[in-house]
Amino acid sequence: MAEAPSNLRVYLVRLAVIFAGLLLFAGSSIAHALGVLPTGLTVAAQYFGVMAIVWGLNGFFFRTVALSWFTLPVFSAAAFGVLFLIGYFVQTVAGPFLIDSTGRFIGLVRLVDLIFYAFAVMTLGGAAGCAFSRNIIYSAWSLLFAFLGVAGLYVFLGADFPAVAQVLIYVGGILVLILFAIMLTKQIGEDPKLTNAHLALPMGAALAAVTVGTLAYMAVMAPWKITPAPSYQPVSAALGTAFLTDFLLPFEVASVVLLAALVGAVIIARKEIKEHLDTVLE
């Protein structure tokens, strides 16, 4: 600009050009969607719209970039290509997750599926970390993710009480107990490679591959008698009723088992008792 006109007028011109470009772009897209405009003309019109937007934006944001008659189409082509790729991605990659073949919106269902896969990946990733990590502390922490992922799968299966029990007992109890045992046995900090060493890992991995292959084949091929309408009702009250009616004897036996485990763990883990017994025996 040799002689700078007033800034206000420049801005207004740029703004008008941006607006016109947006109108051209949107109008040609809508016309193409309605079947009025053929594809070649649509692409050309969209390209000119993008070019107008680029030229207009250049006045606002890219003041240092001097756009000539040559660089303006090139930049516009680049911007148009990026927009085209984004549109293509939305239409062909993300679209099937949102619209099914008959055009209904099924985003929620696909979202539920994605959440299931997220929980499955979390569970199996945590389990794999527990199985293959070389440091026992890392194994324990990845066990946390495995337990939380399994709790998410329980929620997915409409089992609310087992999910909460999983979080409370496994994450809040057993995992803390495992971490205590790791700390008390002083295995960390010595040599991380030796704290959680493997024995014949390739053979173990082969065994696991055979097992999961066989079980997955059975799971897919077996003719399960699937119930038509699985329910997502809350189950806590029904579980309490079942424990006190149909499963009363196992319930009482479980309480005895827990008491025996409590007493047994205290007796086994206490050091003084053993020394006391030694002195008595002598």
Partner 1 sequence: MTSSIELPHFLIVGAALFALGMVTVVTRRNAVGILMGVELILNAANVNFIAFNHFVEGPGKITGQVFSIFVIVLAAAEAAIGLAIVLAIYQTFRTIDVQETNLLRE
Site for partner 1 in 34-63 (CB under 8 A): none
Between CA 193 and CA 206 the distance in angstroms is 22
Contact status: 201 vs partner 1 (CB under 8 A): yes
**Burial of 53: CB neighbours in 10 Å, binned 0-12, 13-18, 19+:** buried
> From the CB of 189, what's the least distance to partner 1, in Å?
14
Cβ-based nearer residue to partner 1, 73 or 162: 162
User: Nearer to partner 1 by C-beta: 87 or 234?
Assistant: 234
Helices 236-244 and 248-269 pack at an angle, to 10 degrees, of: 90
Return the residues of window 2-41 that contact partner 1 according to CB under 8 A.
none
Residues 160-179 that bind partner 1 (CB under 8 A): 161-162, 165-166, 169-170, 173-174, 177-178
Q: What is the footprint of partner 1 within residues 213-232 (CB under 8 A)?
A: 215-216, 218-220, 224-227, 229-232
Give the contact letters, 244-263, x = binds to partner 1 (CB under 8 A), - = no. --xx--x---x--xx-xxx-
Task: Report d(CA 79, CA 68) in Å as an integer.
Answer: 16
Q: How would you label 231-250 residue by residue, b for 16+ Cβ within 10 Å and e otherwise?
A: eeeeeeeebeeeeeeeeeee
17 backbone φψ class: left, alpha, beta (φ>0; ψ -120 to 50): alpha
Segment near partner 1 (CB under 8 A), from 23-31, 57-65, 68-76, 268-276?
Answer: 268-276
Q: How far is CA 107 from the centre of its chain?
A: 16
Q: Does residue 99 belong to the site contacting partner 1 (CB under 8 A)?
A: no
Q: Of the listed pieces 50-58, 59-67, 76-84, 199-207, which binds partner 1 according to CB under 8 A? A: 199-207
How far apart CA 194 and CA 189 sit, in angstroms, is 10
User: In the window 132-161, what residues touch partner 1 (CB under 8 A)?
Assistant: 132, 136, 139-140, 143, 146-147, 150, 153-154, 156-159, 161
